[in-house]
Amino acid sequence: MPRNHFSLLFTLFFSAFYLFSFSNFGNAQNLNFTGTVKEESSGQELKDIHLFVANTSFQTFSDSLGRFSIPNIPPGRWELVIKGEGFETIQETIELVKNKSNNQDFLLKSDLRIFPLELKLSEKRREKLVQEFSESFLTASNYKEDIRLLNPDALIFSEDENSKETLVEAKGYLIFVNDKTGFLFTLYLLE
């Protein structure tokens, strides 16, 4: 093999090795945040509890043993939100540090909030209300034609006693998907 071909192959090999090594080096600095979620009074492990870092895509749900793991989070201070149907929401600042345990357990209290009496609706009327909610909710989005609600059954429609207006709440979280990108996002409606 001519000397200049060998030199070119050698340069390409080490350039690829350098890029691969340092691109993985950046990810190697990220951390896993793990722990368990239990019910406060009984100590029972809780499944399907949503844990997420506010305003990021870092999220997970607890498994049947109450365990959770949020992988690949950069070190630093983060605002963690923990929500589960029938339980009070926890919002807490966590600090993830390299070379330290990033494991934390959480105890959730039962939520004694009473949901309004849901309206008895025909399937057609419910579909119309879901469509109106989605259109109203996504009105300012440039991508509203691409976004759809995946779990409309989480919406609770009720009627205001005084004004007779139809109100909407969500039991748990709402999941939207962008059909073009496949990107999912989870939202909670606040009072």
Q: How far is CA 133 from the centre of its chain?
A: 21
Q: How many CB atoms lie within 10 A of CB 189?
A: 16
Could you tell me if 78 and 93 are in contact, meaning their C-beta atoms sit under 8 angstroms apart? yes
Query: Residue 94 has which token pair?
Result: 């966590």
Averaged pLDDT of the chain? 83
CB 177 within 8 A of CB 164: no
pLDDT digits (tens, 9 = 90+) for 17-31: 444 444 444 445 899
Report pTM: 0.65
Q: Which residues contact 138 (CB under 8 A, 6 or more apart)?
A: 144, 147
In this predicted model, which residue has the larger pLDDT, 40 or 170? 40
Q: What is the pLDDT of residues 106-162, one digit of tens each?
A: 999 998 766 667 888 899 999 999 999 998 888 888 888 999 999 999 898 988 888
Mean pLDDT of 81-105: 92
Q: How would you classify the pairing of strands 174-178 and 147-149?
A: antiparallel
pLDDT tens-digit readout, 29-61: 899 999 999 999 999 999 999 999 998 889 999
pLDDT for 62 equals 96
Tokens for 66?
């109450």
